[in-house]
Amino acid sequence: MTVDPNTVTSNDLVAHSIDFVEQFSDNVKTLLAALGHVRMHPMSTGTLIQTYKKETSAASKRTVDEGEVIPLSKVSRTKDKAYELKLTDKLRKVTTFEAIQKDGLDQAISFTDSQLLSIAQKNAKKDLFDSLTSKGTTSTSGNGLQMAISKGLGKLAGLFEDVNNVGNTTVYANPDDIYNYLGGAQVTTQKAFGMQYLQNFLNADVVFLSTSIPAGKVVMTVDNNLNFYYVDMNGNAGKTFNMTVDETGLIGVTHSRIDDSLSYQTVATGGWLLLPERTDGIVTATIEPTTPTLVASADH
């Protein structure tokens, strides 16, 4: 029997699922590549993830007389907060019979899927910046943007001076603060996951621009301090619901018919946490107003 070429088959829906998954995964991987050496950790939902902070107690004195007991210095990594990895996003949308008839299957589903993809990416970005702005425990300040970043980088250098291969220093700032500093100067920006970033700016390896960072603050860390934990959708649960995933398992997507409403639905789900290994390794610097320099004038 000859099949009508306009008949929607399961292969059509799988193709849409693959496109959705690949776009999301590629964008996340582009973001993590821009961040530097962020490590990806696929895990099961419900996993508890522990963060740490470093505590140092110096000895009472550096030098002792011959034969005396050397006093102890103590360096320890103590537990900070624990976080549970959950499905942070469960997204669903429906494309109607009428929309498919009007625009065609590819156009109707691709357009509405792109809206769902935007929501998923927006949520992931919010999670990223929530981690950076709420989980850091080290603070400093400086007059003006350049000094605030310099003070923050100085703090980072001290925190990680005994750690090898810490990776790049990454700064997150509000666009208003960056462009107020630049004035009319032209700079070349790049884009990852919908965010602009500058490379090798004000002694930082990468500076991300986002309105999710409050104006008047800059947040910074080293990329090896960041870990990206996510629910691996390649597991049995994803297979049970016939989820399409890529090799990373970052997000699972499925398309299916809803006969009683003459519609097609898209369901996407995933869960992720971007967490610092050391909460004290995230530095928040406050940009203090610069004081104008007064030039004394002499009377003649």
pLDDT digits (tens, 9 = 90+) for 165-182: 788 899 999 999 999 998
Domain that holds residue 131: 10-51+77-288
Q: Are 108 and 8 in contact (CB under 8 A)?
A: no
Q: What is the CATH number of the domain that holds 121?
A: 3.90.1690
**Mind listing the pLDDT tens digit for each residue in 108-146?**
888 888 888 888 888 888 888 888 888 888 999 999 999
Contacts of 19 (CB under 8 A, 6+ apart): 110, 113
**Mind listing the pLDDT tens digit for each residue in 253-269?**
988 888 999 988 889 99
Nearest to 217 by CA among 300, 154, 136, 286: 286
Please state which of the ranges 3-12, 39-48, 266-275 shows the lowest mean pLDDT. Answer: 3-12
Q: What is the residue-wise DSSP string for 284-297?
A: EEEEEPPPPPPPP-
Q: Does some domain include residue 216?
A: yes
Q: Does some domain include residue 32?
A: yes
DSSP3 helix / strand / coil % (the chain, rounded to 5): 35, 35, 35
52: β partners: 79, 278
Q: Does some domain include residue 194?
A: yes
Q: Is the pLDDT of residue 53 over 80?
A: no
Q: Does some domain include residue 84?
A: yes
pTM over 0.75: no
Q: Does some domain include residue 182?
A: yes
Q: Does some domain include residue 270?
A: yes
User: What is the rounded CA–CA span in Å between residue 118 and residue 1?
Assistant: 41
Q: How many domains does the chain have?
A: 1
Q: Does some domain include residue 69?
A: no
Using pLDDT thresholds of 50, 70 and 90, give the confidence band for residue 1.
very low
Average pLDDT (217-227) is 90
Task: Report the sign of the C-alpha dihedral through residues 132, 133, 134, 136, in that order.
Answer: positive
Helix (H/G/I), strand (E/B), else coil: 274: strand
Element (H, E) at 15: helix 10-35
Tell me 278's DSSP state.
Answer: B
Q: Does some domain include residue 177?
A: yes
Q: Quick one: residue 122, left, alpha or beta (phi over 0 = left, psi -120 to 50 = alpha)? A: alpha
